[in-house]
Amino acid sequence: MSEIKKKLAALSPGQHNLLVSRFKEKMRAASAGSTAVFPTGSTRRDEGYLSDGHMCPLPTEYSNNFIQFSLYFFSDDGRKETSDKYRLLLESAKFADLNGFSAVWTPERHFQDFGGLYPNPSVLSAALAMITEVVQIRAGSVALPLHHPIRVAEEWSVVDNLSGGRVAVSFASGWHPSDFILSPDNYERRKEVMYSNIETIRRLWKGTAVKFTGVGGVETEVRILPRPVQPMLPIWLTSSGNAETWVKAGEIGANVLAALISYSSEELAERIALYRESRARYGHPPETGVVTLMLHTFIGEDNDAVKEKVRPALSAYLLNHMKQYDQTLTRGVSLAEDDMNAMISFAFEQYFATGALLGTPAKCAQLLDRLIKLGVDEIACLVDFGLDTESVLGGLELLRGLKDAYSRKPIAAALV
């Protein structure tokens, strides 16, 4: 047993909680910018059944508690060289469209294996628009300071037209210095630039003429074409934990996209309360803002079998995620590869137990019930964390059944 493993085994409950907190701090920093036609079985919600007769013993008190489900993509396999790189995304989108999921999210990521399949969500969303009919098509997220707001408005207006008015965008400020090769002058003031550009995009989307400085300092008024289908663009803000982002989202009438790993239950409840209060303070109906929470997801019929199936893929995913940053999980201590693996194993156990939709419907229902009580409106199910395509596609049917157990009419995304 390595020295780090011995130390992990000897942790007191207080030390254990501190280490989990520090790991979350690293993951929070890591997230600062920033993942075929199937048969449909009958769903007997009132009897506690999921699709195809799979029993999900949900207590009756769940009957009045509902949450929406979307699919989220953020693969760490950016160097994939096969000819079917996007098969999982395309087939999953078809499934989501046919089976009542609220949305499909694609991110923006540059120059890294982690997320490298997704450098431009508007391009992939245009493809999704052509193979779906009803599901909302969302960016999760557009790193707005990397782009001119006219280009963002134009591109998403095209996708809005291709999809018949089904686009939505979560905006992020970006965080990785390498990404800002695309717009180096915006790095230091990226949050300010993001909020300013959101306002510009909203004006352009409405058809307002906006003045921009062109060649020789000449100001020119611009309106975007084509005109979008939706009169207003549904907007989310991506938050990695900063309370100010939640308050600002409420102020500007945006929805919120976050990841559970960034928060304890108490922190998440606090952020949601701040968000609702901010919406009310700035004249936006507090109840209409959507809080979307990203969770790694794979549903199976046996908890132990699911745990062993996802362990290699999710552990590698967490390791690759952390390798984007300095390899330190304890303050001031750089870990060797073996010790890093031990830490990832530790993190996996915590994550599987309480931080993801991994396991049977009954196990996952306990987490969903907790999140509903905290005020979460939607779960963005990250499904492409490293399992093979056939396993992920096969697991979507059980996820559909879990979704159906919590279904209601789609949440109206906040527009203003």
Count of C-beta atoms within a 10 Å radius of residue 152? 25
Residue 53 pLDDT level (bands cut at 50, 70, 90): very low
Quote the strand ranges of 28-132, DSSP E: 68-72, 103-106
- pLDDT digit string (tens) for 252-261? 999 999 999 8
Query: Is a pLDDT exceeding 60 seen at residue 328?
Result: no
Q: Which CATH number fits domain 31-301+360-405: 3.40.190.170, 3.40.50.300, 3.90.850.10, 3.20.20.30?
A: 3.20.20.30
pLDDT, residue 181, reads: 80
Under 8 Å between Cβ of 295 and 313 = no
- pLDDT digit string (tens) for 109-154? 856 665 568 889 999 999 999 999 999 999 999 999 999 999 999 9
Say whether 182 sits in a helix, a strand or coil: coil
377: nearest Cα among 69, 139, 93, 58: 69
- pLDDT digit string (tens) for 336-389? 666 677 778 888 898 899 899 999 999 999 999 999 999 999 999 999 988 999
Q: Using CA atoms, how far apart are residues 355 and 295, in angstroms rounded to an integer?
A: 7
pLDDT, residue 175, reads: 62
Q: Using CA atoms, how far apart are residues 85 and 36, in angstroms rounded to an integer?
A: 15
Say whether 355 sits in a helix, a strand or coil: coil
Say whether 56 sits in a helix, a strand or coil: coil
256: nearest Cα among 229, 288, 230: 288
Query: Is a pLDDT exceeding 50 seen at residue 5?
Result: no
The secondary structure of residue 333, as a DSSP letter, is: B
Q: Which string of DSSP letters, residue by residue, matches 369-416?
A: HHHHHHT--EEEEE--SSS-HHHHHHHHHHHHHHHHHT--SPP-----
Q: Is the peptide bond before 410 cis (omega within 30 degrees of 0)?
A: no
For strands 291-299 and 357-359, give the pairing. Answer: parallel
Query: Is a pLDDT exceeding 80 seen at residue 60?
Result: no
- pLDDT digit string (tens) for 262-291? 788 999 999 999 999 999 999 999 999 999
User: Among residues of the chain, what percentage have pLDDT more than 90?
Assistant: 59
- Each domain of the chain, given as residue ranges in start order, spans 31-301+360-405
pLDDT, residue 33, reads: 39
pLDDT, residue 227, reads: 98
Q: Which residue has the tokens 């303050």?
A: 331
Note the pTM of the prediction, 2 decimals.
0.80
Residues 6+ apart with CB under 8 A from 282: 250, 251, 252, 253
Residue 335 pLDDT level (bands cut at 50, 70, 90): low
